[in-house]
Amino acid sequence: MAGRCGFDCLDLTALPRGFSCKDLQVAVTVYPIYCQSLPRAVKDFLSFLRAERHVLIAAYGRMSFGNALWEASRLVEGRVIAAAYLPVAHLYRKGDAPFGDFAVLEPLERKIFDRCADFISIPKYRKHLFAALFPAWRSRIGVSLKRGAECHLCDLCSNICPNHAIECGKINHRCERCLRCVSICPRGALHVHVTFPLRMYLKKAKRTSVLIFT
CATH of residue 150: 3.30.70.20
149 and 174 inside one domain: yes
Phi, psi angle pair for 109, to nearest 5°: -65, -40
Per the structure, the complete domain to which residue 33 belongs is given by 2-128+204-213
13 and 118 inside one domain: yes
Report the pLDDT value the prediction gives residue 58, as an integer from 0 to 100.
96
CA quadruple 178, 183, 184, 190: dihedral positive or negative?
positive
147 and 89 inside one domain: no
82 and 183 inside one domain: no
Chain Cα centroid distance, residue 169: 22
39 and 92 inside one domain: yes
124 and 134 inside one domain: no
Number of independent structural domains in the chain: 2
115 and 46 inside one domain: yes
Written in H, E and C, the secondary structure of 16-37 is CCCCCCCCEEEEEEEEECECCE
pTM: 0.88
52 and 148 inside one domain: no
Q: Other C-beta atoms within 10 Å of 128: how many? A: 14
118 and 136 inside one domain: no
Q: Other C-beta atoms within 10 Å of 60: how many? A: 20
116 and 193 inside one domain: no
Report the pLDDT value the prediction gives residue 41, as an integer from 0 to 100.
87
CA quadruple 124, 128, 133, 139: dihedral positive or negative?
negative
Report the pLDDT value the prediction gives residue 194, as an integer from 0 to 100.
93
12 and 62 inside one domain: yes
Helix (H, G, I), strand (E, B) or coil at 179: coil
99 and 157 inside one domain: no
Residues in a beta bridge with 145: 192
Helix (H, G, I), strand (E, B) or coil at 82: strand
Report the pLDDT value the prediction gives residue 4, as an integer from 0 to 100.
67
Could you give the CA distance from residue 76 to residue 204 in angstroms, rounded to a whole number? 33
- Outline where the chain has alpha helix (H): 2-5, 40-48, 68-75, 106-112, 129-133, 135-142, 156-160, 180-184, 196-201
Could you give the CA distance from residue 76 to residue 53 in angstroms, rounded to a whole number? 10
Q: Other C-beta atoms within 10 Å of 69: how many? A: 26
Q: Name the amino acid, one letter, at 28.
A: V
Q: Which mean pLDDT values do the consecutive 10-residue runs of the chain (214 residues) have?
A: 72 68 83 90 87 94 93 92 95 86 88 87 85 73 91 92 90 90 94 91 88 94
